[in-house]
A and B are shown apart, each in its own frame.
Chain A
Amino acid sequence: MLSKIVEPQASLHLKKLLEDCDAIKAAMVVTVDGNLCAMQQKGTYALERLATMGSSLMSLGDTITGELKMGFCNRIISENEQGIVAFMHINNELVLISITTEKNSLGMLLSHSKRCAENLAKAVSDL
């Protein structure tokens, strides 16, 4: 089961992501079909259902960009009254979801999350 295989590496990278960026309050790695691999958070957010919702959203993003012939959907950003949620592909099978409650931290959220996704993609490529 892919989620179990990548869990140790995913946990390590998520921990580092939250340590490196104060603005990021929670992050998780999920499979494209909605299984939770790992999550880290600084609060008590109910994140379990976000795994399946994130996979649905990412797949819709891929479907929309495919419809528009815009290639692969790199990321989806949800800007909300009380924070921002970013969804981005790690590779063809994994999605990173990261959350900030600071509305002015989109740049930090994206840059740190992108780096995390790239590093995690390398780390799991040989698994």
Chain B
Amino acid sequence: MRIIVKEIKLVFTGSMGAGKTTAISTISEIPVVNTDVRTTDKARLRKETTTVALDYGELTLDGGQKLKLYGTPGQQRFEYMWPIIIKGALGLIILVDDAADDPVADLAIYIKFFKSYLEDMPTVIGITRTDLKQGPGMPAYYDYLQNQDLQLPIFPVDPRQREHLIMIIQTLAAMVEVV
């Protein structure tokens, strides 16, 4: 039986400030639905606003399939939203801010939380803000994944660059069996 998937739900998750909202805004063909509010705690030093529920955008592929792009809140106190948003998703994109205090630990939080999904759900990791050269660099992430016995595609990515995101989506598409 051939299954034609007309709508594909992809979820962007990852640490605060990694660029989830920016990534969805960069590629969405509709005005992005977002739930950003003013940051009122010490995280304000890093970011003026933060997502507290979800982001939503859409992108139509050349074949006519519609990508429904969801973004999770990044802060861990909103993790109750993560399983709500991941329901029905066909792909997961984990973004990690390389310039954060401990980005490998940030990646570990999301790997651990979504571990039960990783076996069945195509997942790609994007490392952002590598241009600042403040983080451990790509080898640290390769080592972490290897230690976890995980083989996931991982790229440096600028969430403001459409072509970077398209590459990630193409990678996911190659992993998702879409007829």
A49 to B78, CA, bound (A): 9
Contact B35 A33 (CB under 8 A): no
Complexed CA–CA distance, A92 and B34 (Å):
17
Given A56-B52, A59-B52, A31-B40 contact (CB < 8 Å): yes
**B40 touching A35, Cβ below 8 Å:** yes
Closest to B31 in A: A67
Contact B40 A1 (CB under 8 A): yes
Q: Is B37 a contact partner of A32 (Cβ separation < 8 A)?
A: yes
Task: Choose from A2, A35, A63, A93 the contact partner of B35 (Cβ within 8 Å).
Answer: A63
A100 interface hit (Cβ, 8 Å): no
Q: Decide if the interface of chain A is mainly helix, strand, loop or mixed.
A: helix
Do A34 and B35 touch across chains, with their CB atoms under 8 A apart?
no
Task: Please indicate which of the listed interface residues A3, A31, A62 has the most CB atoms of chain B within 10 Å of its own CB.
Answer: A31
Contact mask B72-103 → A, CB, 8 Å, 1/0? 01010110110000000000000000000000
Over the window 48-75 of chain A, the binary record of Cβ atoms lying under 8 Å from chain B Cβ atoms (1 yes, 0 no) is 0100110111011011000100000000
Known contacts: A56-B52, A56-B81. The answer to whether A2 contacts B33 by CB under 8 A is no
Q: Which residues of A contact B37 (CB under 8 A)?
A: 32-33, 55, 59
Complex CA distance for A55 and B39, rounded to whole angstroms: 12
Contacts of A33 in B (CB 8 A): 37-41, 50, 52, 75
In the complex the two chains form, is B40's CB within 8 Å of A3's CB? Answer: yes
Interchain CA distance A52-B120 in the complex, whole Å: 30
* Chain A residues with CB under 8 A of B33: 63, 67
B50 touches A49 (CB 8 A): no
**Residues on the A chain within 8 Å of B78, using CB:** 34, 52, 56
| Bound Cα distance from A59 to B33, whole angstroms | 11
The reply to whether A35 and B41 form a contact with Cβ atoms under 8 Å apart is yes
A residues at B contact (CB < 8 Å): 1-3, 31-35, 49, 52-53, 55-57, 59-60, 62-63, 67, 92-93
Interface residues of B (CB under 8 A from A): 33-42, 50, 52-54, 73, 75, 77-78, 80-81
